[in-house]
Amino acid sequence: MTGGARPRRLAVISVHTSPLAQPGTGDAGGMNVYVWQTAQRLARRGVEVEIFTRATSSADRPVVEAAPGVLVRHIEAGPFDGLDKRDLPGQLCAFSANVLRVEAAQSPGYYDVIHSHYWLSGQVGWLARDRWRVPLVHTAHTLAAVKNASLAGGDTAEPMGRLIGEQQVVAEADRLVANTRTEAAELVDLYGASPAKIDVVPPGADLDAYSPGSRAAARAELGLDPGDTVVTFVGRLQPLKAPDVLLAAMAPLLRADATGTLRLLIVGGPSGTGLEHPAALAELADAMGVADRVTFLPPQPAATLAQVYRASDLVAVPSFSESFGLVAVEAQACGIPVIAADVGGLGVAVRDGVTGRLVDGHDIATWTAELADLLADPARLQRYGAAAVTHAQGYSWEHTTDALLASYGAAMGNFPAGPIRRGVLGRRTRGLLKNRPRMAG
């Protein structure tokens, strides 16, 4: 990846979730954090950033200056509420039309680059790219083909419409930003992407917000016992993130703990298919006889979330699929070791045997054994935690911003001066159609 020109004004498209939303609620998660953190840092580097997202409330102002140099434009597309991510493909026409109207009111050449996040935004970005004649940089964040290959039990496969939509965006984007080399290989192997247009740009952590601190003070703030041993889950409560796997794995340890000091802390709100039964985890804890040893907290803002990490002895990230795993990096930045499933970007975010443990698969007994092994060795947890801080320093949002600017420069430098080449659906897409997953129903 070689840099070139720097954009004056960047159009960021984030259709289904606003960077102003609280991560851990609804569909808001790591992507929100990514968009918000990079937007602020790009603005500090002199790039004007305008973020287009769908309005979800009549109280949303059309334009909000969210930070110096960062505008959030709330675009009307469909009803304000009652829609989730699965309903939004039907609103892309309305969203796209209103995005194009914003640019049409400006002087020609108003935006220099488009950066779309998630496939829904990529569809809008593809249209805007051709109309505005500026390059499109796309970050998938998650890929349907990867998710469908490792579905949680009872979860719903991603539909063929998304698979085809992702294929189209991969074919049309001028640059593709992958979180890890693993994701880059998936784009090539599963979607036929050209390796020459992929930039590997790891996400980061806000190292000012997430840093080591007093465990005693954090527990006092959260109302946790200073003498407890706390294992923590942070994330959206849905099958993909596997909080039920962690709860089932912890249950035998909680029941066997005669001291009464072992506790599981679950921080987050229901999302995705988890919205169908939002009380499922609490009911599972009750059925397993450990409800009194499990504490549930709603999603937390960054300042309080840092205290959640600092209050923990161990953070668990048991997801079935993760493009990177921001929770793992944030926890390590606070000096907390992590046990994580060895999937996707978590193999990069966590250094196995140095800053934590990577677990192969989601077998409950295996997770119970790994957790027991770690919790029985406080000295090892302390060593992992110390190494975790150093490891996390390599994943700052400043590093991410540097790499994004280089990607934007490459996209601008290579953008064709003549007619834009149209991508076509080729053998790769026909293969996706032929081998489409069986839908749950």
| Binding-site residues for Mg(2+) | 309-310, 312
Residue whose pair of structure tokens reads 């390059």 in the numeric block: 135
Main-chain phi, psi angles of 209, to 5 degrees? -80, -35
Distance (Å, whole) CA 246 – CA 210: 24
Angstrom distance (rounded) from CA 68 to CA 47: 11
Element containing residue 51 per DSSP (H, E): strand 48-54
Annotated binding site for UDP-N-acetyl-alpha-D-glucosamine: 22-23, 30, 236, 241, 300, 322, 330
Separation CA 7–CA 316 (nearest Å)? 39
Known binding-site residue numbers = 16, 22-23, 27-32, 85, 118, 142, 162, 236, 241, 300, 309-310, 312, 322, 330
How many residues are given for the chain?
Answer: 441
Which 8-state DSSP code applies to residue 208?
T
Other residues' Cβ atoms within 10 Å of the Cβ of residue 435: 9
Q: How far is CA 259 from the centre of its chain?
A: 37
Which 3-state string (H, E, C) describes 53-92?
Answer: EECCCCCCCCEEEEECCEEEEEECCCCCCCCCHHHHHHHH
* H or E segment to which residue 181 belongs: helix 181-191
Among 180, 209, 371, which residue's Cα sits nearest to residue 304?
Answer: 209
Please, what is the end-to-end C-alpha distance for the chain in angstroms? 44
DSSP state of 236: -
Residues 6 or more apart whose Cβ sits within 8 Å of residue 271: 24, 25, 26, 27, 29, 236, 237, 238
Count of Cβ atoms closer than 10 Å to residue 262 Cβ: 21
At a CB cut-off of 8 Å and minimum separation 6, what does 8 contact? 47, 48, 112
Place of tokens 């609490």: 282
User: Residue 260 and residue 44: Cα distance in Å, rounded?
Assistant: 49
Residues at the binding site for 1D-myo-inositol 3-phosphate are 16, 27-32, 85, 118, 142, 162
CA distance linking residue 135 with residue 111, whole number of Å: 10
440 touches 239 (CB < 8 A)? no
For residue 344, give the 3-state DSSP assignment. coil
